Structure 1
């Protein structure tokens, strides 16, 4: 697949649902080589969210809805951070020094924002607008991520986690539906806190008042085709049911735990 800052997965725009995958791919433009890293580093979570691209594509197929996939490795620049976030371009990630990011001249920093980060977010905005126009309602936005089974040496018990800030509309029924399976350990704002100022959900959902949720699936559970099929089969009917709730498609601002929205 040729390099692009984003990839669009087709689906029916009139269903009022958009899928996102910020960290779907580990690609780099040819000019950046491997950022000075050995190939094995691109097999790790520091480069992308393992299992997320096939899971998102399968969900888009099952639900017949569109998706926007990030087209570049988070090692180049992280699309799920604000432009002012100090972790936007990482110099060190989980023990790996990234030579191509050290040093980071101001001009190069701005180039990555302009050439990769902003085109991805423009594609997300365009897709949300397209679905809003076709469906005649505010879209539900679901972002798909994955997390490692261990942090350092500590095992993570969750099979999945739902991250959110203040809008509970999609989150509460999603958590409840997953927790209905006694075999699953489901995290509420685990293993991360979903309140991250100027991240993807903040920009595209919290500020405009769109219902949303960020789903984190443990990477070892979606590392192969069988795992992807299992989790897509689990999530698709839950998301379809949530999307059928009319209140999900009402613009409603709940604010943010990170501070007043007016500061954006």
Structure 2
């Protein structure tokens, strides 16, 4: 584990690489965000439930994961480095005073957390040549700032231009009993896909973006259920792509 990322699983060529941009709610001791402690365990700080799913998946051969080790309130790894929201000043109605930084302060955050993480993702893809990259996230069923917006899907599949693997994912997940699957929901991968755009779209690397609803995976039983679902689907996609 480093300050920016941790690796779970055993590296192997031609497998599945899992990328978890918002795995951790950790805020380093030397950074004061100026927010109530309750928000450090809120969905604005990380993607609840998704890191355990990634780790469960890497208990199986052919699966390796890279997970962030700092809160998305420190730096949002699924943004572009020159985007204002890479260090967010307000999230779902919560002001983040400690993120009102100078240009030098912003660059220091990027150098400390963003760049090492993305460099390692790129190196893993180059070295391991995975058949599939799975970018895992979780989403809140409701937002404080938009309480009228309901997100009833169990899982969503995101993508941008490269659609072969996502179409397979939608097909295979559709075979799972009782799952409500969103195609480009709860939002579109054409709008919010920075990590996969940079790391996969740019080089033609097959990938899927996955969003799982947070209230379904806060407990171990739900995490194991969705880890198993994703393993089955990723194994089928890997076979279809080979």
Shorter-chain TM range is over 0.9
- Which residue in the other structure is 2:17 paired with? 18
TM-score normalised over the length of structure 2: 0.93
- Residue 150 of structure 1 deviates from its aligned partner by 1.3
CA deviation string 1:148-202 (max 9, x = no partner)? 0113323211000000001111101111111223522111110111024771101
SS of residue matched to 2:161: coil
Distance 2:2 2:11 in 1: 25
Q: Note if contact 1:63-1:236 (Cα within 8 Å) is conserved in structure 2.
A: no
- Which residue in the other structure is 2:140 paired with? 148
Is 2:190 aligned against 1:213? no
Distance 1:55 1:107 in 2: 36
Distance 2:127 2:77 in 1: 21
- Please, which runs of 5 or more residues in structure 2 have no aligned partner? none
Write out aligned runs for 1:111-126 (5 A).
111-126=108-123
Distance 1:25 1:125 in 2: 20
SS of residue matched to 2:133: strand
CA deviation string 1:19-55 (max 9, x = no partner)? 100000011222104x111211011110000001101
Q: Note if contact 1:141-1:212 (Cα within 8 Å) is conserved in structure 2.
A: yes
- Which residue in the other structure is 2:169 paired with? 174
- Which residue in the other structure is 1:56 paired with? 54
Q: Note if contact 1:81-1:87 (Cα within 8 Å) is conserved in structure 2.
A: yes
SS of residue matched to 1:244: helix
- Of 211-220 and 80-89, more deviation after overlay is shown by 80-89
Is 2:215 aligned against 1:223? no
- Which residue in the other structure is 1:236 paired with? 231
- Residue 4 of structure 1 deviates from its aligned partner by 1.3
TM-score normalised over the length of structure 1: 0.86
SS of residue matched to 1:45: coil
Distance 1:63 1:221 in 2: 26
Q: Note if contact 2:89-2:96 (Cα within 8 Å) is conserved in structure 1.
A: yes
Q: Note if contact 1:3-1:27 (Cα within 8 Å) is conserved in structure 2.
A: no
- Residue 101 of structure 1 deviates from its aligned partner by 0.9
Is 2:100 aligned against 1:108? no
Distance 1:45 1:139 in 2: 31
Number of aligned positions between the proteins: 239
- Residue 62 of structure 1 deviates from its aligned partner by 2.9
Distance 1:197 1:96 in 2: 20
Q: Do the aligned partners of residues 197 and 39 (structure 1) sit closer, same or farther apart at CA in structure 2, a change above 3 Å counting?
A: closer
CA deviation string 1:184-232 (max 9, x = no partner)? 2111110111024771101110000101010000001111100001111
Q: Do the aligned partners of residues 217 and 71 (structure 1) sit closer, same or farther apart at CA in structure 2, a change above 3 Å counting?
A: same
- Which residue in the other structure is 2:124 paired with? 127
